[in-house]
Structure 1
Amino acid sequence: MSSSTLSEGRKQFIVDGVTQDCRADGRRCIDFRRFQIETGIVSNTNGSARLRQYGTDVLVGIKAEIGQPKQERSNTGHLEFYVDCSSYNTTEIDGHIGDFTTQLTKSLERIYDSENVLDLKSLTIIAGEQVWVLYIDAVVLECCGNLLDCISIAVKAALYNTRIPGVSVNDEEGVLELEISDDPNDEKKLSIDKVPVIVSCNKIGHRYVVDATQEEECCSSGRLLIAVNDRNNICSLQKSGTGSLDPSTIFEMIETARQAAVPLNQELLQTLKREERSNNDKCGFFAN
């Protein structure tokens, strides 16, 4: 949605509400909207998740394939992201769809393809030669604001759902051969203890809001993307948008994001564990 589509009166109404910690939909500045998570819904993947939040619908699938390590990280696996917004109503996006998806993809790669976020060494098969590469595809079906945060929640749920097959290495006459096990009991889970969710903190007036609607994003004078994990540690900071942010503003936005991330991470993990215990692919939760 373009900022030009909002009337000045509507913009002022949104800013005034944020100032009083009462947004247009009744939420406080640090509240996330209700959403549902489903996992294990794409059969030809190693892990998948779907997030639905009012008008937002995001599907994430993860495929694990054997490949070569990156030259600068020869003893670890790595992640490859791709975001597809072709099913989303592109008339709502300012600029070209290609630039928009590229920006989303690069933001995800900078945050998640790191040993500080995921145990990439556990993806090593033969050091320096063969590793697991996780191809993470995110399809945006609908969007009602705060898209990157929604994708990050779906990515974390899909990583929790991902199972990596066991691999045996056979050395016959000096030739190494890899054999991938098809035994479900030989699969391993990924640890998501350090995997963050992204909390985009938008400056509106003199206050900051998380999980902004499209209208609120149009009123934002600056945005900071803050990745926060289960331990409430900051994993990454990225500035987005054209507005400037002074240092004191950044510190306040970080604290706002951390406050919002605590219940978000806790509820997501509890829900995923409940789903795993009940062997039920459908679940939903409400983050306050």
Structure 2
Amino acid sequence: MSLCDAEKTFILHGVAENFRSDGRDREGYRPIEIETDIVQHAFGSARLRLANTDILVAVKIEVDTPLPERPFEGKIEFFVDCSANATPDFEGRGGETLAIELSNILASAYKSPKTFNLKKLCILKGKKCWKLYVDILILECGGNLFDAVSLAVKAALFNTKVPLIKSVNIDGDNVELDVSDNVFDCERLDVTNAPVMVTVCKIGDNCVVDPNLAEEQCSVGSIVVAISQEYFSTVTSIGIGSLHAQTLCSSLELGQKVGIRLNEALMDTLSHITSDQDFGFLK
């Protein structure tokens, strides 16, 4: 997407007046729609649309061995696939760098036990644990990928059903698990503290959240903050440019304020959602 000088000036003036080109203020999000439990053979799934950005997430589970240094914990891994149909920028190897960046920031955001308790995934200390594979497919790119991906991941984890273990048989070094084959014998993951990401862009002398593609072109510096309840689980600078120390502080305050509100709206929506409905929030 390429903007002429007149278009950039229009966006800059709109942000300065706190009235963006699509009618939002600087703290406003575009309409968000979410569906859960839509991938048949996954343990949990969600599809989220943030304006023109479309994300599909599926969670798979398998039995694994805990890490030696973390014998009481399970595992979680993130894999991102940037579909070539999402944007021409993803053609060839264009999406690989972004996919790695998204995977790394998600892993960092979920690393703290205060955000996601991996001990709940431990089956037998040092022997067996559950491993979650979170597969993320970017179907369409309409700006603000980090926020959309984090919301979709949290929704998919909320929807994930972990099978119950009926019995554990230990014979020397061999461990046999009797896993219930009843689809109703399962436990839900606790994602109350799971982080949501907020991208804060500096455009002109002001900062905005949920930038669209045009606004991303006008940004002189951006950060992504992962908010878990009221604290930061990670902060990352993205794109080109940098922020002054004072601007960085104000960006963090804005990210925290919006992140808390976004998390409350998402959890409220997920608590009411059913498998045959889709909901919008923050409209």
TM-score bracket for this pair, using the shorter chain length: over 0.9
Match of residue 257 from structure 1: 255
* Structure 2 residue identity aligned to 1:62: V
Distance in 2, Cα, partners of 1:176 & 1:261:
43
Using a 3 Å threshold, how does the CA distance of structure 1 residues 209 and 47 change in structure 2: closer, same or farther?
same
RMSD after superposition: 1.8
Distance in 2, Cα, partners of 1:258 & 1:171:
47
Q: Is 2:281 the counterpart of 1:286?
A: yes
Shifted more, 100-109 versus 25-34: the winner is: 100-109
* C-alpha contact 1:263 1:287 (8 A) present in aligned 2: no
* C-alpha contact 1:199 1:257 (8 A) present in aligned 2: yes
* C-alpha contact 2:127 2:175 (8 A) present in aligned 1: no
* Structure 2 residue identity aligned to 1:123: L
Match of residue 149 from structure 1: 147
**CA deviation string 1:157-202 (max 9, x = no partner):** 0011011101221135774211111123431111111101100101
Match of residue 193 from structure 1: 192
Distance in 1, Cα, partners of 2:86 & 2:240:
24
Distance in 1, Cα, partners of 2:145 & 2:252:
19
* C-alpha contact 1:60 1:154 (8 A) present in aligned 2: yes
Distance in 2, Cα, partners of 1:243 & 1:172:
59
TM (norm. structure 1) is 0.92
1:1-288 map, 5 Å? 1=1, 5-92=2-89, 96-167=94-165, 168-172=167-171, 175-229=174-228, 231-275=229-273, 279-287=274-282
* Structure 2 residue identity aligned to 1:216: E
* C-alpha contact 2:64 2:129 (8 A) present in aligned 1: yes
Distance in 2, Cα, partners of 1:84 & 1:43:
19
TM (norm. structure 2) is 0.93
- Give the percent of matched residue pairs that are identical in Structure 1 and Structure 2: 38
* C-alpha contact 1:30 1:259 (8 A) present in aligned 2: no
**CA deviation string 1:119-161 (max 9, x = no partner):** 1001001111211110000101101100111010000100110
* Structure 2 residue identity aligned to 1:120: L
Q: Structure 1 residue 72: deviation in Å? A: 3.5
* C-alpha contact 2:202 2:221 (8 A) present in aligned 1: yes
Distance in 2, Cα, partners of 1:68 & 1:274:
35
* Structure 2 residue identity aligned to 1:241: G
* Structure 2 residue identity aligned to 1:189: R
Q: In structure 2, list runs of 5 or more residues that go unmatched.
A: none
The residue matched to 1:184 in structure 2 has which SS? Answer: coil
* Structure 1 residue identity aligned to 2:119: K
* C-alpha contact 1:40 1:47 (8 A) present in aligned 2: yes
Distance in 1, Cα, partners of 2:175 & 2:80:
35
* C-alpha contact 2:60 2:133 (8 A) present in aligned 1: yes
Distance in 2, Cα, partners of 1:157 & 1:245:
31
* C-alpha contact 1:33 1:286 (8 A) present in aligned 2: no
* C-alpha contact 2:192 2:267 (8 A) present in aligned 1: no
* Structure 2 residue identity aligned to 1:225: V
Q: Structure 1 residue 283: deviation in Å? A: 2.4
Shifted more, 264-273 versus 166-175: the winner is: 166-175
**CA deviation string 1:232-256 (max 9, x = no partner):** 2222111112212222111100111
Q: In structure 1, list runs of 5 or more residues that go unmatched.
A: none
Q: Structure 1 residue 14: deviation in Å? A: 0.7
Distance in 1, Cα, partners of 2:203 & 2:67:
41
Task: Figure out how many residues of one structure are paired with residues of the other and give that number.
Answer: 281
